[in-house]
Every structure is written in structure tokens, then in C-alpha cells.
Amino acid sequence: MLEQLKPVICEYVEVEPDDITLESRFIEDLHFNSYDFMSFLGEVEEMLEVAVDEQDVLELDTVGKAIEYL
């Protein structure tokens, strides 16, 4: 799933796909702002046909945690 998410992440922030790892933190490492992060999650929800609970969003601070959640 990491490979599926890399192009989506790159739509929102300027980062090389090879620099995205499971340990990458959305805010600190990938430099998402809150608006872009929520837009990214919305796109992933549509792409994977899942729903992310608003209460759980704060726990999804790394790419790996987001993949695990999804």
C-alpha cells in the first residue's frame, strides 16, 4: 500500500517518492499543513473506499500508522 500512497502524497507536498517511508511523519518530515493532510485523507478515503473517523485522525502521524489504520 505504501507504493499506492506515494504518488498521492506527492500531489500534496514537494517530496521525492523514494524519500517516503513508513516512518515518515506527515507534518515534520513531509511538511503537510493541516488542510493538505485532510485533503490527502479525503482522496485516500475515496481511492480505497474507506472512511477515516475524525477522532482517529490525530493518531495518524506517520505514513506507516496511516497504512496500518487503513
Q: Using one digit for the tens of pLDDT, what is the confidence trace for 19-39?
A: 999 999 999 999 999 999 999
pLDDT (mean) for 31-60: 93
pLDDT of residue 42: 94
Helical H runs in the chain?
Answer: 2-12, 34-48, 63-69
Is residue 58 over pLDDT 90? no
pLDDT of residue 66: 94
Q: Cα-flanking dihedrals φ and ψ of residue 20, to 5°?
A: -90, 120
Q: Are 47 and 58 in contact (CB under 8 A)?
A: no
Confidence of residue 54 (pLDDT cuts 50, 70, 90): confident
